[in-house]
Structure 1
């Protein structure tokens, strides 16, 4: 499954075109860390993203996502889909295909707000009843290459067939990214 996700992500990335900006970032919360990569995530059109998250207590996940970005006034909207390989601490490994969207809106010259929500029901996942991911916060962009964030993240896996629920993230975090 990991090979399929990786090869699909690479193929989509190559199709997205070479003029897209590349971004890499890191986020840290009380009991979790996340590494993110992306291409085209800050420009209108097709975008590709990837992430790896590790919870200190409830396992890890990795995945790729594809979306389409467009701007409505000053709001930047990005509906998309994420395919994730999930490895809970006290349950069997599985996958989830989550649908969702993110939004960004500038408040001032270097300050903005953002939010995102993704959900995968039982029909789009294995060995979990559902997957939910939500985050929101403030972003600070002192120069176009640097983005700093502070926010709140919630990521939960509801167990299926008597399996344990897993809460990978539930709390504030800080993070940063570089864009090229």
Structure 2
């Protein structure tokens, strides 16, 4: 899968972008990322881009770009569940792609705060080339002193495993801090 295919998929999904969502720009000690996750009921566009500050075995800084669709499910108040998938293009010890499935659970907390966890997974059957597994997990807390602007802290890991274990790499693994905007 090329970058152009991923871009075309994102453009075709643009009508879903009208769905409300949270966009976070954050940095950890050795990685940076931008993530957009939909909020509310029904389908919405999910976007993700992660860039590692560490170099892979080929001397490049690994990256991870994804576009997908998440569906918000009706659940009791103070809780949100989103399930879906995303297509990922990786540049980590060689190019690869993967179709990841997963979800996000968000719990509203007092004083304009919320806690969330998300997890996505692609096995060997949903990955290209020598990639045997791709995982993306994140947990965090967001405080929104203003209705549409928040401060977020959490922990994120993104790992790519290959048939040759020496080419395994973690694009993200550690605490992060960032800002978010809801629109």
TM-score w.r.t. length of structure 2? 0.88
**Residue deviations 1:81-107 (CA, integer Å, cap 9, x gap):** 01110001xx22100111000010012
Partner Cα distance (1:23, 1:3) in 2: 25
1:92 partnered with 2:99: no
Partner residue, 1:110: 112
Preserved CA contact (<8 Å) 2:137 2:157: yes
Partner residue, 2:11: 10
Partner Cα distance (1:17, 1:161) in 2: 38
Matches within 5 A, 1:32-43: 32-37=31-36, 41-43=38-40
Cα gap change, 1:86/1:101 in structure 2, threshold over 3 Å: closer, same or farther? same
**Residue deviations 1:30-64 (CA, integer Å, cap 9, x gap):** 100002345xx122111102121110114111110
TM-score w.r.t. length of structure 1? 0.89
**Residue deviations 1:125-144 (CA, integer Å, cap 9, x gap):** 01311001111111111122
Cα gap change, 1:44/1:98 in structure 2, threshold over 3 Å: closer, same or farther? same
Partner Cα distance (2:66, 2:171) in 1: 14
Which of structure 1's runs of 4+ aligned residues deviate more than 6 A?
A: none
Partner residue, 2:176: 173
Preserved CA contact (<8 Å) 2:49 2:63: yes
Preserved CA contact (<8 Å) 2:31 2:53: yes
Q: Unaligned regions of 5+ residues in structure 2, if any? A: 57-61
Matches within 5 A, 1:54-69: 54-57=51-54, 58=56, 59-69=62-72
Partner Cα distance (2:178, 2:87) in 1: 23
Query: Given the alignment, which residue of 57, 80, 83 partners 2:84?
Result: 80
Partner residue, 1:70: 73
The number of aligned residues is 174
Partner Cα distance (1:165, 1:92) in 2: 11
Partner Cα distance (1:23, 1:108) in 2: 19
